[in-house]
Structure 1
Amino acid sequence: YVCADPVAGIMLNDEVLSTYFPDGSRAEKTSFKLTEEIAAFKAAFETDVLPDKRYISNGLFGYFSWNAVQHFEDIKFSAVTPDDEKIPVLQYHIYRYIIAIDHFRNEVTLFKNNFDGTNDDDLGRLEYIIQNKNFPEYSFDTSGEEQSNLTDEGFKGIVEQMKKHILRGDVFQIVPSRAYNQGFTGDEFNVYRCLRSINPSPYLFYFDYGNFKLFGSSPEAQITIQNKVANIFPIAGTFKRTGNDEEDAELARKLEMDPKESAEHVMLVDLARNDLSRHCRQVEVKSFKEVQYYSHLIHLVSKVSGKLQPGASAIHVVADTYPAGTLSGAPKYKAMQLIDQYEGLGRNFYAGAIGYMGFNDEFNHAIMIRTFMSKNNQLHYRAGAGIVADSVAENELNEVNNKIAALRKAIVMAKEI
């Protein structure tokens, strides 16, 4: 999907909640309950019958950052994000134009949303832009060396501290992360082009907000809700691919049998079941520890589903399952407190959720992993590792490097376009 011409939106920035509407009206609040405000914003719009139900033709597109959980849970973070890296905690827009690109049918479908009661379906301007081949192209290059908030030894030290908390019984599993940044000049869209080629994933996205951009190739959904059924797909258990199919198949068998990876996976499946049980009935594990192959990694993936209870809305289910256990730990609340204490740098976009929220209570968001944030000619990216009692610090460092490998490769390739 490609969206253009935002005509309404809701944004949370510096504890100020802002909304704007197609009629030009705007409002700001400093005292609010976020879930209720999002629900009210959606309810302000009435929608006609969708012209083509195969595709998304209206709704809200945007993201929650990691810090949004402070508005869903009674928790406060102290780790700071530098001012030049800060982005709004939450940002969603409704767009006048939505372009649905069907790669299987080789078709493009154009939608125009009208907000003034007219039935203006003129799409000529959009068709002209799509067919116009005269557009500028810019190169990409890196500037300086890659930087990180932690040294290798520093990250391994955090792993050891987390293991102490696990042995004390504070948490059973936890996911510390390490941040990186790389200076650049030129057009970072080339990095996205390379990333989607190197690391094709279920969620490929590029959101341009003007003064910053979010783009990535995420393998994991935060949560999906459709027809009153909510699904969480925990990914936990990671081995690096070798490039040899036979060796990869053997690695996959070892991954399924590995006690550390299995323990981590079971804990996060249980966490997903508990999260969904807050607003769902008939919560079931639909699939368990399925092996999935990606460009650089092999993962274990499960599917946990539940039917929404009568009266439960999508946004309340989302809030009570946020953030993903696979990016925080179990128990989630204590894991988030420890992450905030030890990482020392605010997570900002990392481990947030990005995607689509429908007026009909559908919800489909990716977790912001394998994701870049571009701001002030810096690319920011991050990766973490799941820690349990028998984790080995060196192995967890290697897991972070394995997860970041596709992003680093995309940066290198983008310089050659």
Structure 2
Amino acid sequence: MADPTDSTWDWKTGVLANLLITGVLGYMAVLHKWAPDFYYMSVQEDEYIEWSTYCAFAFAAAAWLLATWRGRGWGRRLPWFTAGLALFCLFVAGEEISWGQRLLAYRPPAYFLEHNFQQELNVHNVISTDLRKLSLRTIIGGYGIVLPLLAAIPPIGLLLRRLGIHVPTPWLIPSFAAALAAYVEYPWKYTGETVELMVGLCFLFASLHHLRKTNAVPAGFRRQPWVSVTIAWALVMALGATNAAAARVHRSEDPARIEAAKIELEALRRDFLWMASGRSKVFSLSHSLHKRVYTYEQEHGAHRLLRGEFADLVSRGLPEERAEFFLDPWNLPYWINIRSSQRIAFLYSFGPNRRRDSSYTEIRGDDVGVFIVGPQTD
């Protein structure tokens, strides 16, 4: 068996792999500072960052499955570790897209319908945030950093080989370390989405390194490993962008999103009614306005919206980023419209076509809306 501490990459391939992975972090940092609107769009559900993460883990799962297949046979040690890596990557990929529920339109088990506000089949929305963060930190640090460092110690490296544990190449330690540091420091909101993509690429490149070391790739790729690394990265990014574009078309006619928007708008309506009550005078019809709910909360100090019934939907699976920025299921802002002279106020979403159809006094077209004050609430 090949020595797991022996990197078969030359220094150029190692540097390239780290640049491609850490470049994702740099790219998102630039977006966050100079194009915040595009940044927040990028980290939303079914956008290109999530789909690229799915592709990275899915490709890694396939590569580790190939390694497991090649490692089977009489007289060989059971390839339990590569099988475990394949299952882990497959699990993460499945979680990223809710196990294809949005694509195949199947109904998840009743437990997820009851406890997950998105009513989707995934585990990460029904476990505690602290446990999820601890698990990811342990995997990044344990597999990507501690394991290759321990394997460099001859007695431990020998033990790992005897146990059938395949150690990731030491070349990837900088990328794993960068991902861990970003996840611990969390320099900007939703850094976790970026870290997940970085980790997916780390696992993918680790699998490519292992396949090359075991001669499971074509000779051309073995001679020039940077080619397989570059192609894999390009495929992940290209397919991520393509799938995101297809997902936008798919979700434009998704009735489940319309129903989710109705539930969310009703929760927002009750929050605004609370603010109009005797307990709070933040909301009133004294002035006409038409603006995003997020802007309204910021400018009018409507902090009830951050801890009211709409915010409580997070405990049932509403993504935190949508709750914090008051985004609808199509990842566009919820709006509030107040006409003081007509004594009308309503909340609305642009709906499936993602453009405004409503007038100042009526909810029209496929816009999804609810009146706070008006004829329909009398």
TM-score, with structure 1 as normaliser = 0.26
Larger Rg: 2
Whose helix fraction is larger, Structure 1's or Structure 2's?
A: 2
Greater relative contact order, per chain length (Cα 8 Å cut-off, separation 6+): 1
Q: If each structure's strand is expressed as a fraction of its own residues, which one has the higher value?
A: 1
